[in-house]
Structure 1
């Protein structure tokens, strides 16, 4: 059922869209900036854009502020071809998220403004307005669970997606600054993980859910044995362990000259899911995701840096291959 839903190549993505600012030219510190590159950001919006670039369809469910930043994000979703039928404007003091991050690795600085975030105002009514039968799978990132009413709305979306037969794909995406406490985050993210069919996270995120980073892989194995059909345990430069069908698949990474650390996870998710939708074997799908991550960290921007199908194929054809794992 899970791969059948993914193979429909039509994804419903829940979570934020925002505006990214990065000092230009690349390498400039924010404190020295005179010019800024402007781009669409937000984990869920980035994943949606990445999927569309790779030939899939994606629709976003979220809220944006009814102001120039929110309108910018709407325009960017249109430009990337992401369906924003279920992106609604909110009036009041809530604001669309803004991120200022440097295109540099050494002493990298990312500053994210999410106080009173507009996307956290997504409601149960918003998700109940969606026709889930129109999609093949639901994707969300963990940030949606950090505050109400977005948390309750997303859990309601999980219920509706399951009732419609959609697999649930969960990127843990733990961001401490969004949560009221680590204890709340551990409880809520663990609950979301237990309801998900596909879980993607890094070693620190699984370790966080386990209560100890040393037990992260054990937590991934526990989820794969009890509830999730596919669990991808990412380990940065050490590659990934993917647990599916009772097997553990170890894969390396595609070395790249990184210009920034941001955007890799979102691009990995898009590349991984698009490859599964194309019928790739699990190992190949993970490597497609890893290739997308390497492409993104080597370029300025997040959504703008995500490869289309031709760019991904060219990278795979010209790259010497992944590292041994």
Structure 2
């Protein structure tokens, strides 16, 4: 059962790690910056760091460039307690991803450097070296499917997870800049979604998979009825709809004064899964994931902003919310 697998609190996370730059102090435009702060980023690495901060175990499967930026990422994974036994170094012209983003909401700018991305060099042999029975569940995000050989490696991880009886947890995480075309992304992400046991995405991402945003909710519902055990349809400030066990549960959010839009989805996933691993009811777990997302958007950085258990409990104890669930 899904709950039994999650109760192990031990996750294998497949995806990218990167270096983030953001101007200091918060509110500074990149074009005006004289001081930049640095932190670990990358959706998979953020989720892994968030899980560990919340008392779980996480190992990351990826590739980094064999240079100072890649070594930085390795050091940061160590800092956050993420197992990097399956992080491979690659040489040549491949580079670890770099993100430059502003800690500001108005006219926010994110500039992502993904040419010759090192993480796309993860291959099937890297997956075959892993003992999947050592973990309780496999997590991946959509970006890992955007190019070869990473795409084939990710699907190999899905196959190995199924062979080992592990649930597959999939964050759609559609990033247009990573894909050769929207048509290819729709086809590949739909294939990945059909294999997943838990699917998390926002209204735009489900709409993209369905061919139009107006059909996104129906797509999420259909996945829950046909292949997935749980589907979470996020609607930004309107909250989320969770489809599981034939029911639809609507939840609100915890409003905060956001300083950036980045990192929310990664933190939501970490908070959700950590809460489920502790045996919390599904609705409560979704709300705790929403609280984690609110904590992260209210602070600079992505991995550095992920709350630990004490920070999450303090936020829940002192912050008003959640808001009432709204119609999609």
- Shorter chain as denominator, the TM-score bin is over 0.9
TM-score, length of structure 2 as denominator length? 0.99
Q: Which residue of 2 aligns with 1:23?
A: 23
Cα offsets for 1:85-105 (capped at 9, x unmatched):
000100110000000000000
The Cα of 1:3 is off from its aligned counterpart by 1.4
Cα offsets for 1:52-93 (capped at 9, x unmatched):
000000000000000000000000000000000000100110
The Cα of 1:313 is off from its aligned counterpart by 0.6
Q: Which residue of 1 aligns with 2:198?
A: 198
5 Å-filtered alignment, 1:194-273, equals: 194-273=194-273
Hey, what's the Cα distance between the residues in 2 that align with 1:109 and 1:94? Answer: 25
- For the pair 1:11 / 2:11, whether they are aligned, the reply is yes
Cα offsets for 1:28-48 (capped at 9, x unmatched):
000000000100000000000
Report the secondary structure of 1:8's partner residue: coil
Q: Which residue of 2 aligns with 1:324?
A: 324
Hey, what's the Cα distance between the residues in 2 that align with 1:272 and 1:56? Answer: 12
TM-score, length of structure 1 as denominator length? 1.00
Hey, what's the Cα distance between the residues in 2 that align with 1:6 and 1:120? Answer: 28
Hey, what's the Cα distance between the residues in 2 that align with 1:130 and 1:35? Answer: 41
Cα offsets for 1:174-199 (capped at 9, x unmatched):
00000000000000000000000000
Unaligned runs of 5+ in 1: none
Q: Which residue of 2 aligns with 1:108?
A: 108
Hey, what's the Cα distance between the residues in 2 that align with 1:7 and 1:115? Answer: 38
The Cα of 1:318 is off from its aligned counterpart by 1.1
The Cα of 1:2 is off from its aligned counterpart by 1.2
- For the pair 1:144 / 2:144, whether they are aligned, the reply is yes
Q: Which residue of 2 aligns with 1:130?
A: 130
5 Å-filtered alignment, 1:73-112, equals: 73-112=73-112
Q: Which residue of 1 aligns with 2:165?
A: 165
The Cα of 1:319 is off from its aligned counterpart by 1.5
Report the secondary structure of 1:256's partner residue: coil
Q: Stretches of 4+ moved more than 4 A in 1? A: none
Cα offsets for 1:158-178 (capped at 9, x unmatched):
000111011000000000000
Cα offsets for 1:273-295 (capped at 9, x unmatched):
00000101110000000000000
Q: Which residue of 2 aligns with 1:306?
A: 306
The Cα of 1:321 is off from its aligned counterpart by 1.8
Report the secondary structure of 1:64's partner residue: strand
Cα offsets for 1:207-266 (capped at 9, x unmatched):
000001000000000000000000000000000000000000000000000011100000
Report the secondary structure of 1:307's partner residue: coil
Q: Which residue of 2 aligns with 1:286?
A: 286
Q: Which residue of 2 aligns with 1:174?
A: 174
Hey, what's the Cα distance between the residues in 2 that align with 1:37 and 1:15? Answer: 23
The Cα of 1:6 is off from its aligned counterpart by 0.8
Hey, what's the Cα distance between the residues in 2 that align with 1:320 and 1:183? Answer: 42
The Cα of 1:308 is off from its aligned counterpart by 0.3
Hey, what's the Cα distance between the residues in 1 that align with 2:65 and 2:155? Answer: 23
The Cα of 1:20 is off from its aligned counterpart by 0.1
Number of equivalenced pairs: 325
The Cα of 1:320 is off from its aligned counterpart by 2.0
Hey, what's the Cα distance between the residues in 2 that align with 1:200 and 1:258? Answer: 22
Unaligned runs of 5+ in 2: none
Q: Which residue of 2 aligns with 1:66?
A: 66
Report the secondary structure of 1:11's partner residue: strand
